[in-house]
A and B are shown apart, each in its own frame.
Chain A
Amino acid sequence: MTHPVNPAQLLLHDAGELDASEARAVSAHAAGCAECTARLRELRALGALVAKGSAAEPAALRRERVLAAAFGGARRRIAWGLALAAAAALLIAVGRAWWPAGRTVPPKKEDPWVARHGEAMTRLDRRIVEVAQAPREGAGIGAPPDVPVPADAARAAVARWEAIAGAQALFPAWVPEGMRLREARVSGDAVEVTFAGGGTSFTVFAGAGDGVERADGAVVAGTAAGLRFVLVGEGLATDDLKRIRASLERPARK
């Protein structure tokens, strides 16, 4: 015989997170059920032990380390570089099939990246696709207003999916729920895609040019298949942005 209140309900009820009707039903049952009373007592005790056993250790040094890194410089980006290089290789592997340097992508009604990889996409991929395909819908975390995707849909779509894949791999913490495409631009062989959400934004530049070595606030992700990838956070100076764009639009050959 099945117990009328399951343990999950009991926990939710104890936390005051059941809706009113369900809460009434659980209350009515639990008040007279010795089994539920005992189980809840045990669960509370276990929860208290988890909390107590996870108590913090002195952390002044750790805090200082974070403060120094946040307010004292940008050395940590070196670590990014390693992660980005690996992620860029993955990105290029996907992108190569669709956008080798100089290739003009034929227009298709269905997004080619989705058509080809639809079955293999992860749940997060799917979510990003949904958000990007319906940029004015969804409930992003502090997402700003969207800017329409350019009309050159086929080419922009390829750039978009490549950039999404890259952004997801390169900036996993910046592509949480609600992250959405804000703007996509294609210029010559260079692509510039901006994502926003979660109270932040970032831009992925990709192109056949040499790319900048470094600009303040920019991370050069890597080079492969004739493409150079540059990822930029917020607050980069206009001149630096222009420099990045120009460097990526330049032919790779010298």
Chain B
Amino acid sequence: MLRCGGGDRAAFEELLKRYETRLIAFIRSIVRDRGDAEDLFQETFLRVHRAAPRYVPKARLSTFLHTIARNLALNFVQKKREQPVEQVVDTGVEEEAGRGADLEALRTALAAALARLPREQREAVTLRYVSELPYKRIAEVMDAPIGTVASWVHDGLQKLSPALRKFGALAEEER
């Protein structure tokens, strides 16, 4: 990040590579739409780019980035609040996904199941398992007590369970 502040394009690209998957997934957990998430991811990094010369490394970089992304995403959602987002993302493909327990089917089923979670649970689960943040950092990003965050993660996983259970073999591969 400090090198980014000096205008180092390679360092900025490295930062992009390191965080893009996590941040896009996290932003998507809030806005739900992949295209919107990618736009907001771009906006996040443009703001990071502009802030880099003044960046003071007192907070963890991951916390800093996720906080910026979250604020942007929440603001975006607020502006679109009147839109029935459930209709956009709930594609009804879960049943089809269950026919073949492959990675693509898992992705589809996961996206549909995540979309039905309350926002806090969706955010917390994504920050924990996609961004791989410790609970303490998630609590900072979400501005919530750590116990509450852990409860959101637990409750979220429980609600995802029916949709994901059929992909258990993939979880075994992961270990």
Contact = CB atoms under 8 A, between A and B. Distances in A.
A120 interface: no
Nearest to B20: A59
Given A12-B135, A12-B150, A199 B64 contact: yes
Nearest to A124: B143
A234 B63 CA distance: 22
A201 interface: yes
A138 B72 CA distance: 23
Interface in A113-149: 141-144
Nearest to A217: B50
Interface stretch (A27-35, A42-50, A152-160): A42-50
Q: Which of A12, A55, A173, A177 has its CB near the most chain B CB atoms (within 10 A)? A: A173
Contact of A50 (B57, B134, B160): B160
A233 B167 CA distance: 48
Interface residues of B, number: 73
A173 B22 CA distance: 18
Contact of B103 (A15, A52, A59): A52
B46 to A, nearest CB: 6
B151 A7 contact: yes
Interface in B55-112: 55-59, 63-64, 67-69, 71-72, 74-75, 79, 103, 106-107, 109-111
B146 A12 contact: yes
Given A46-B160, A52-B103, A54-B25, A233 B50 contact: yes
B128 interface: yes
B154 A7 contact: yes
A144 B167 CA distance: 50
Given A52-B171, A66-B16, A17 B143 contact: no
Contacts of A45: 168, 171-172
Given A9-B150, A76-B46, A49 B171 contact: yes
B16 A172 contact: no
A174 interface: yes
A8 B67 contact: no
Contacts of A175: 71
Q: Which of A10, A53, A199, A201 has its CB near the most chain B CB atoms (within 10 A)? A: A53
Interface stretch (A67-75, A91-99, A101-109, A220-228): A67-75
Interface string B117-139: 00000000110111010111000
B174 A70 contact: no
A62 to B, nearest CB: 6
B64 A49 contact: no
Nearest to B160: A46
Nearest to A234: B54
A42 B128 CA distance: 16
Contact of B20 (A6, A43, A56, A86): A56
Given A8-B150, A50-B130, A17 B67 contact: no
What 8 A-B pairs have minimum CB-CB distances, sorted nearest first?
Answer: A142-B56, A53-B110, A8-B150, A200-B51, A56-B21, A199-B55, A172-B75, A48-B174
Given A46-B160, A176-B71, A200-B51, 11 more contacts: A15-B135, A49-B170, A50-B130, A62-B38, A66-B46, A67-B9, A76-B42, A76-B43, A141-B63, A172-B75, A234-B51
Interface of B: 9, 12-13, 16-17, 20-21, 24-25, 38, 41-47, 49-51, 53-59, 63-64, 67-69, 71-72, 74-75, 79, 103, 106-107, 109-111, 114, 125-126, 128-130, 132, 134-136, 140, 143, 146-147, 150-151, 153-154, 157, 160-161, 164, 167-168, 170-175
24 contacts: A11-B150, A11-B154, A12-B150, A17-B134, A17-B146, A42-B161, A49-B174, A51-B129, A53-B110, A54-B110, A62-B41, A66-B16, A66-B41, A67-B13, A70-B46, A141-B59, A141-B64, A142-B56, A174-B47, A177-B140, A198-B64, A199-B55, A199-B58, A234-B54
